[in-house]
A and B are shown apart, each in its own frame.
Chain A
Amino acid sequence: MILNPVDQAVISQGLIAAAREMGVKLVRSAYSPILREASDGSAAILDPAGNVVAQAELIPMQLGPISATFAPCARLFPPDQLVEGDFYINNDPYNGGQHLPDVFIFTPIFFSGRLVGFTASVAHHLDLGGGAAGMNVDATDLYQEGLIFPPSKYNLKHDWHGGPFERLVRANIRVPQQTIGDFNAQFAANAVGALRVKELCAKFGPETVAAAMEELLAYSERRMRAAIAAAPDGVYVGEDALDDDGVSETPLRVRAAVTIRGDQVEVDFAGTCDQVRTTLNCPFASTVAAALSCVKAVLTSPDIPFNEGSKRPITIKAPYGSMLNPKPPAPVRARMLSAYRAFDAVMRALAQAVPEKAIAGGFDTTESICLSHLGPSGYRIYLEIFGGGYGAGIANDGCDAVDNALSNCSNIPVEAMELEYDFFRVREYGLRPDSGGAGRHRGGLGLIRRFEILKEGVHLQTYSDRFLIAPQGIAGGEPGGFARTRIERGNERIDLRSKLSLALRQGDLLVAETGGGAGHGAADGRDPTLVAADLADGLLSPTEAARRYGFKTAAE
């Protein structure tokens, strides 16, 4: 079926708008702060075969491999046997999932009794049980990380809303009111998306909508191929490393060989370190998401709708048993950290192919801080993730204190936190002067957060990185500043490792400082008025202005 350009444009925009609306409503009807304030969730519309056609642009990491998360569900429970009210659910890292908190739910869309597609939503759930509240950085296998939903099929009417599946889930999690509320927000978002697709079918006919879906995939594929073809052919290799696995001191190396040939790209992570004992293993779906996001961000214009079609020209490989394609039952909770190094290695490789489109190394770490407390009325769990400075570009300073490229979580407003939690308080939240790497364009600044612990029995779980290995600059730009975390206990100052769990005491100050991005170009090329502006704003100290840029202040 060949569509006229008007119907194609209208249906494509309608599908993209429906996915966007799902994303907005998922967040706005959610209950936990990680979803409703930090927006750690995503949504998409799939064709009947499970290809992602359109998505809400929320979290890149959750978006790349949705089709891979769908496929095992459809293999086990064929779509042609689904009925109204059925849904698929999957969070299994070894069956197309990523890490356990990201639960994917797929709802079939029926129009006049015919399956016309699926709506999909994913939310990061605050707690799904497991060995510790919110997260368990000490887990040595997947089972200690929480409830596994293997690819399965349930029915909303029979199994949820007080039914057996909801009861089972509710009994195994620590903050059921928030978590079940967030599941309901996912079901509602899926229902809204399904409604919109049905409206399109009613108006244009299901065959036309199906043809438009197919063409939308082909459209993204064409644009992706055109963008790849514009980059020079060659094999480019990039590397980066995580500081350590949280137990030993060895850096964890990630290597990417990127081959651009015509309108295709292959990314091969051979040479990456073996899987580790701790939670830093990156399930293959997450590795794919990281590599895809980097290739898309670097090579293509941001307005290409990201869908299954845009993935067709890209092949991604990682050796089985490596950190980027682990064997079960290795723990995976902190997979975002290794995913970032995969992203960085690909970025370093592409910087050789298309230097003007790449950026210097950034903080590129999802620093997660989880504080939990068991009080008389049950558990309270706080979880927030922190970005830092972006690497500088060829014509811009890196963005200050913002979530990193694979994610896009908002902060939780301090006022929202204080309405919600009574066992800690935020004393300081600000930028970290001097933390961006010097350069013709400087790296973005990291941030500082100071928590005061108000009760006994508060437990900290955290993972971060870039404490020991700094992000690297481009064209003579200097590395970004390190991250660090410490406890201030009276006059004592306890520096913490980047990945650990710890019992805190009432009165402790937990101080988290995230890292800055690296610079682009040599520092002596920086416009002195920009140096003066940072100095006047207190983002650069007089000492560092003199040391990095030879800048003399009036006082000297």
Chain B
Amino acid sequence: MRVGIEVGGTFTDLVAIDGDRVLIGKVPSTPAAPDRGALDSLAAASIDLARVRDLVHGSTVATNAILERKGARLAFLVTEGFRDLLLLQRHDRKRIYDLFYQKPRPVVARRDTFTVAERMDAEGRALVPLDAAAEVQRLAPAIEAGGYHAIAILFLNSYANPAHEEALAAALERRFPHLFITCSTEVTREFREYERASTVTLSAYVQPVIDSYLARFADALGDRGFTGRFSVMQSNGGRMPAAGMAKNAITSLFSGPAAGVIGAVHQAGRSGYRNLITFDMGGTSTDVCLVRDGQPDLSTETEVDGLPIRTPVLDIVTVGAGGGSIVWVDDGGMLRIGPRSAGADPGPACYGRGGTEPTVTDAHLIRGSMRADAFLGGRMRIQPAAAERAFQGLASRFAQSLPQIADSAVRVADAAIVRAIQIVSTERGRDPRDFVLVPFGGAGPLHAARVAEELGIVTVAVPPHAGVISAFGLLAADDTQYETLTRKIVVGDGTAEIVREQYAAMRGRMLGAFRELGIAAAPRCGLTLAMRFVGQAFEVPVTLAEGEIERLDSGDLERRFIAAHHRVFAFGEASQGTSEIVSFRLGAASPPPSVPILAVAYDGPAVTAETRIFDRGAWRPARLLARGHCRVGHVVAGPALIEDATSTTYVPPGWRARGDSCDNLFMTRAE
């Protein structure tokens, strides 16, 4: 048996797959001790841990440690003269007209920051040599007095030569063997000191928290008879054996959204679709991601609580539009959605738990696209009258009827999702019409068809059990690791040779690392070159598959870069300059021996009922079906609602839905 357990903010989801039996679980999360919620979910599903050979876990432990500033007691060591890097940041403001602006608060205080006598230049030559022993001797009393658990080191220009960072780390390790020590170059080897400092401090800050959490959880699993493989989900869309997190804790940030993308990619892939835009609409927000040829796009620029992180993560864009998002009108008379949310408590007005402001969920209830009897598979009591009361004010403000204003609210929410999808597609030089839309999360399949319409997308694939696809994604994820290295090369004769050499060296190291972690299958490797025109400072990724690297020549590389650059920046005729490679990123992924099938039990009632939905200005009679009724080849013409225990799919007029042999529900627009 294989089990995926995904701990979210409100619910802990479990997907257990045993042969062709699929078990779905949802229990409340226990934020104070997330492992308890995870163990509860196992108990609630009566899972015999002795029979589980593969258990994959995703949690918000790292994210929460940062948001709540409950990470390790951390000391930060930095080159002399640069003590205030974390406080100076980039000298800019995120909100330009905010007079009361405050910078994001770093995870290390100034009092815990110490300087070290050393200095490298940009070529990696030592300007001020490091006397590691003497520096450790000098710093020892302060480190002892501080009661630290972890130390982060950042030296200026270390990306060019990490020797000083490594030497100091080694000397500190000898003197303080109990401390977790992290060098900036172990986490990211890219230039720009503040971003690297932020990344290494965040990494060191969460490392002890993750280590002790995973150790505790592994012990608890062991006590319950578990002897299988225990892996952890990462934000790069892959998993790692728990032991692999010993130097990589930062990659466990935001693993939940990444797991969802992987689950969706796998499930759509079963039906043969590999170019996708995924969108996960939950209670407070919507996450979207673009996937080409089965590979989600990566980004090396992300942030947590305003603090930058420079490690590869899935390129997921989030907008504050979810089921619980508040619908409101601003003082200029514009209808707005979110980012404020009614959250899980009090929740939408229709939950009857004290919420009085209208939400997207209330709008669906009023316009008939969600039925009061269908919430959480009918297990939740809903008060339609409360939803109507909440929308009364907006209805009179815009002189619209209740269903009209509810329909408007849903359409503004659609527009917010469309915007997010444009960011990952058109702004990155990709045409959304070349992609299949894959919605999931409780509310994704409700909005998907109309969102697709706005973008000109003709196919929507709704995966089964769309409300818990993240937990399934844990089981579908490859073992994945990335290595990034800054090495500037101006493209010219012989560049292809250098790329091949670099690739071989990095690949060799990576194979060794995988063997060390006991991952049986040799990983598939790919290389991404960060490239730019000489003189620019931001790079465009050029991705090369294993086979392409052997055949590569310099002219080819230059052409691919210019095309990629033009796609993003529309530089046109100016794209003539010399180009250069700035850094190499090797990705290695080793797929699980097999991915279990997330099947639908086709035991839904054969009866279809009638309902009605207000859409685009009129009430329309609509069919109502259970997902379990939509077998292979079964075609449903819109308007229709298709329900299962974790989500509702809306098939608008002019669309049809069809079940396929891979348990997906396809919606296409009738031309």
Q: Which A residues are within 8 Å of any B CB, using their own CB?
A: 4-6, 8-10, 12-14, 17, 21, 25, 27-31, 33, 36-37, 39, 57-60, 161, 177-178, 181, 184-185, 187-188, 191-192, 195-196, 199, 219-220, 222-223, 226-227, 293, 296-298, 300-304, 306, 357-359, 386-387, 390, 393, 395-396, 399-403, 405, 408-411, 413-416, 418-419, 425-431, 447, 450, 536-539
Contacts and interface: CB of A to CB of B under 8 A. Distances in A.
11 contacts: A5-B335, A9-B412, A226-B331, A401-B84, A402-B91, A402-B93, A402-B103, A410-B91, A411-B91, A415-B192, A418-B122
Contacts of B122: 415, 418-419
A94 to B, nearest CB: 27
A188 B575 CA distance: 10
Given A401-B87, A430-B81, A191 B159 contact: no
B100 A359 contact: yes
A551 B538 CA distance: 48
Given A222-B332, A415-B159, A429-B88, A538 B110 contact: yes
A36 B109 contact: no
Given A25-B569, A29-B571, A419-B122, A359 B334 contact: no
Contacts of A39: 92
Say what secondary structure dominates the interface of chain B: loop
Given A161-B574, A184-B571, A430-B88, A413 B415 contact: no
Contacts of A219: 332-334
B610 interface: no
Given A14-B419, A300-B97, A302-B97, 7 more contacts: A181-B574, A188-B570, A188-B572, A393-B100, A399-B103, A403-B92, A425-B121
Contacts of B336: 9
Interface in B96-110: 96-103, 109-110
Contacts of B91: 386-387, 401-403, 409-411
A181 B103 CA distance: 32
A425 B191 CA distance: 16
Given A9-B334, A429-B88, A181 B535 contact: yes
Contact of A415 (B157, B331, B398, B577): B157
Contacts of B97: 57, 60, 293, 296-297, 300, 302, 306
A304 B96 CA distance: 12
Contacts of A415: 122, 156-157, 159, 191-193
A405 B101 CA distance: 10
Contact of B103 (A30, A31, A195, A400): A400
B570 A191 contact: yes
A324 B574 CA distance: 39
B192 A416 contact: yes
A87 B109 CA distance: 50
A419 B124 CA distance: 11
A344 B92 CA distance: 20
A50 to B, nearest CB: 22
A413 B191 contact: yes
A521 to B, nearest CB: 14
B95 interface: yes
A418 B110 contact: no
B465 to A, nearest CB: 32
A47 B185 CA distance: 49
B330 interface: yes
B422 interface: yes
B614 interface: no
B82 interface: yes
A58 B94 CA distance: 9
A396 B100 contact: yes
B334 A5 contact: yes
A72 B87 CA distance: 44
Contacts of B99: 297-298, 357-359, 390, 393, 405
A17 B100 CA distance: 25
A346 to B, nearest CB: 12
Interface residues of B, number: 66
Contact of A220 (B82, B332, B423, B537): B332
A195 B93 contact: no
Q: Which 6 pairs across A and B sit closest by C-beta, in order of nearness?
A: A428-B81, A184-B574, A223-B332, A537-B110, A418-B122, A411-B91
B92 A402 contact: yes
A196 B419 CA distance: 12
B537 A37 contact: yes
A195 B570 contact: yes
Contact of A411 (B88, B102, B418, B573): B88
A10 B414 CA distance: 10
Contact of A403 (B93, B98, B570): B93
A181 B532 CA distance: 13
Contacts of A28: 536-538, 569
B427 interface: yes
Contacts of B537: 28, 30, 33, 36-37, 416
B389 interface: no
B83 interface: yes
B86 to A, nearest CB: 11
A419 B102 CA distance: 31
B194 interface: yes
B30 interface: no
A408 B96 contact: yes
Nearest to A21: B427
Given A60-B97, A402-B103, A411-B90, A29 B536 contact: yes
A298 B97 CA distance: 8
Interface string B392-434: 0000001000000000100110011011001100110000000
Interface string B534-576: 0111100000000000000000000000000100111111100
Nearest to B110: A537
A416 B191 contact: yes
Interface in B31-51: none
B111 interface: yes
- For B97, B157, B191, the residue with the greatest tally of chain A CB atoms inside 10 Å of its CB is B97
Contacts of A306: 97
A538 B87 CA distance: 13
B195 to A, nearest CB: 8
Contact of A399 (B102, B398, B427, B573): B102
Nearest to B537: A36
Given A36-B538, A37-B537, A302-B97, A401 B415 contact: no
A37 to B, nearest CB: 6
B92 A6 contact: no
Interface in B327-343: 330-336
B103 A6 contact: no
B423 to A, nearest CB: 8
B98 A302 contact: yes
B192 to A, nearest CB: 4
Nearest to B82: A429
Contacts of A538: 110-111
A399 B415 contact: no
Interface in B128-149: none
A414 B82 contact: yes
Interface string B360-403: 00000000000000000000000000000000000000100000
Contact of B422 (A17, A401, A403, A408): A17
Contacts of B533: 31, 181
A387 B101 CA distance: 14
Contacts of A199: 426
A13 B418 CA distance: 11
B334 A410 contact: no
B333 A431 contact: no
